[in-house]
Amino acid sequence: MPRRPALAVLTALFVLAVALPAQAAGSLSGGAFGTGLTAPVVLTVHLLGLLALGLWAADQGGQASGQGPAVALVAALVFGLLHQSGVRLPHTGLVLEASLLVFGLLTAFAVALPLALTLLLAAVAGAVHGTGLSAWVGAPSSPLPFWLGTGCGFVLVGSAGVGLHGLLAQNLSRVWVRAAGGLIALAGLLMLLDMM
């Protein structure tokens, strides 16, 4: 019965995303690299946002499936470093939460966009993720290990989104991909309404 493993994976991801408080990051970190590595995994908005980005990029197929997450990673690192240098973007928290709603809905409704627009959305999402991660941790005493760890964590979670798409689409059906997108969109809406 292939449906049970996929349902278990979706349930586990949802429980993990809802249950992990941001404070858990401190207990999982091991110096600047460990803090950077764990931040995208244990902070709910980043975990769901990067999963949504990977899920949607994989749903786009073609060049978007690899280039979207890569552009988001570069934007996250650039804007994270800019934030640490004093450059501030307005409303990054709201845009970050809204990105869950946007990528979740794009996935839920199987919206295909031109590659240039896909990469632009990925860059915006990456920029707010990088800024949010930089603001959360402040200015670490060792920025290079922190951002190396953050890059690894970013790739890990984004790749998990791509892998989740493959698991659901190949072992079940694209309906499960749509359902995963809908759950992430719901989480984004609840965050925007301060209910999560």
Tokens of 187: 């989480």
pLDDT at 18 over 60: no
Query: 107-153, pLDDT tens digit by residue?
Result: 999 999 999 999 999 999 999 999 998 877 655 667 888 889 899 99
**Model confidence band, residue 21 (pLDDT cutoffs 50, 70, 90):** very low
Q: Average pLDDT of the chain?
A: 83
Q: How many CA atoms lie within 13 A of 9 on its CB side?
A: 20
Cα–Cα distance measured from residue 53 to residue 158, given in angstroms and rounded to the nearest whole number: 7
Model pTM above 0.85: no
